[in-house]
């Protein structure tokens, strides 16, 4: 179980996370939804220790990762696998070496077995006979799947998905969704996904949490979120341009129009 309490992070003057609370139950998939630039990536980067929060705590199996030094973090990070938005495959290594990366670094298996493990993981994501290809030779969907195979190679307890379906065509997005669900069922991993793709969120989530202005404003099952009465959540899940989330920017547009209109009126006079 992952327990996040009062998590805050700012970059310069910009407050990104502002006392965020979230509980991620064991063996379930928690999906964090929210608009672009609301700090979803910052949240999972804090969880895996890539970013240090300014305040708050993140307890993973009872241990607070925010107070750990680099050496302890290395130990905790072995529990994690992460799928990056752009897949982040190492482009100087071929597919097989990418998937085998953590296995070799951690010396989890003798070299003879590594090939078999790599093949097994690639089969799990529906790929075969591509070990010797370079990442530059793969399509976006294949890269995501290789990234996923690499993330699960060292058998993590926790999987983090950063926008798993972004940039994929609808069919490939659904393939990835299916894989995420299948992995939860077959491996029993706890996972956090962040996305703004509602179709994906409904499909893969056990719990959906909405991130808005640095806080989690609503948590619920997909059905609960779909029927939420919170206007912020409603605007986001229904994908409307007008509503409380965009009110400020609409206000700004109106202000600019009014000012320009006034200026134009003055010129005419």
Partner 1 sequence: MTEQKRRNGAALAAERLGERVYAMVQELGAIFTLFLQFLSWMPRPPSEIRNILKQMEEVGVRSMPVVLVTATFTGMVLALQSYSGFQRFQATSFVGSVVALSITRELGPVFAGLMVSGRVGAAMAAELGTMKVTEQIDALVTLATNPVKYLVVPRVVAATLVLPVLVVFADLVGILGGYFVSVYLLGSNPYVYVAKTYQYLEFKDIYTGLVKASVFGMLIALISCHHGFVAEGGAEGVGRATTRAVVASSMMVLISDYFMTSFMF
Q: Which CB, 139 or 221, lies closer to partner 1?
A: 139
Q: Shortest distance, CB of residue 147 to partner 1, whole angstroms? A: 8
Question: Which runs of consecutive H residues, i.e. helices, occur in 210-246?
Answer: 222-226, 231-238
Q: Which CB, 94 or 218, lies closer to partner 1?
A: 94
In the range 62-121, which residues lie near partner 1 by CB under 8 A? 70, 74, 77-78, 80-82, 84-86, 88-92, 101-102, 105-107
Provide the token pair at 102: 């953590």
Residues in binding contact with partner 1, number by CB under 8 A: 28
Q: Which CB, 48 or 225, lies closer to partner 1?
A: 48
Q: Any contact of residue 202 with partner 1 (CB under 8 A)?
A: no
- What are the residues facing 160 on neighbouring strands? 82, 192
Tokens 């029927």 — which residue?
227
Q: Any contact of residue 234 with partner 1 (CB under 8 A)?
A: no
In contact, 194 and 208? CB cutoff 8 Å:
no
Q: Shortest distance, CB of residue 230 to partner 1, whole angstroms? A: 32
Interhelix angle 140-153/170-187, nearest 10 degrees: 10
Using alpha carbons only, what angle is made at residue 77 by residues 161 and 151, rounded to the nearest 5 degrees?
A: 40
Q: Interface with partner 1 by CB under 8 A: which range of 41-49, 61-69, 136-144, 243-251?
A: 41-49
In contact, 246 and 234? CB cutoff 8 Å:
no
Distance CA 254, CA 244 (A): 15
Q: Any contact of residue 50 with partner 1 (CB under 8 A)?
A: yes
- What are the residues facing 32 on neighbouring strands? 194, 209
Distance CA 147, CA 17 (A): 27
Q: Shortest distance, CB of residue 132 to partner 1, whole angstroms? A: 19
Q: Shortest distance, CB of residue 84 to partner 1, whole angstroms? A: 5
Which residues of this chain interact with partner 1, rule CB under 8 A? 45, 48-50, 70, 74, 77-78, 80-82, 84-86, 88-92, 101-102, 105-107, 150-151, 154, 160
């Amino acid at each position: 179980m992952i327990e996040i309490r009062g998590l805050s992070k700012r970059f310069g003057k910009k407050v990104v996370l502002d006392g965020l609370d979230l509980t991620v139950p064991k063996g379930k998939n928690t999906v964090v939804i929210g608009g672009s630039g609301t700090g979803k990536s910052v949240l999972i980067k804090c969880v895996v220790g890539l970013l240090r929060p300014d305040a708050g705590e993140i307890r993973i199996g009872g241990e607070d990762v925010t107070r750990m030094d680099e050496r302890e973090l290395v130990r905790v990070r072995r529990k994690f696998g992460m799928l990056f938005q752009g897949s982040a495959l190492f482009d100087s290594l071929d597919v097989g070496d990418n998937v085998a990366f953590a296995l070799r670094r951690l010396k989890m298996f003798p070299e003879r077995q590594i090939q078999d493990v790599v093949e097994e993981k690639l089969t799990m994501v529906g790929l075969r006979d591509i070990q010797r290809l370079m990442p530059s030779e793969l399509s976006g969907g294949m890269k995501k799947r290789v990234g996923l195979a690499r993330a699960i190679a060292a058998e993590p307890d926790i999987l983090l998905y950063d926008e798993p379906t972004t940039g994929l065509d609808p069919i490939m997005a659904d393939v990835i969704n299916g894989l995420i669900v299948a992995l939860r069922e077959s491996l029993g991993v706890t996972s956090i996904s962040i996305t703004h793709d509602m179709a994906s969120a409904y499909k893969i989530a056990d719990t959906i949490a909405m991130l808005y202005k640095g806080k989690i404003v609503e948590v619920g099952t997909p059905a609960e979120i779909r029927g939420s009465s919170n206007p912020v959540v409603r605007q986001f899940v229904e994908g409307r341009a007008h509503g409380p989330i965009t009110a400020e920017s609409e206000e700004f547009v109106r202000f600019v129009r009014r000012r320009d209109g006034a200026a134009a009126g003055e010129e005419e006079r």
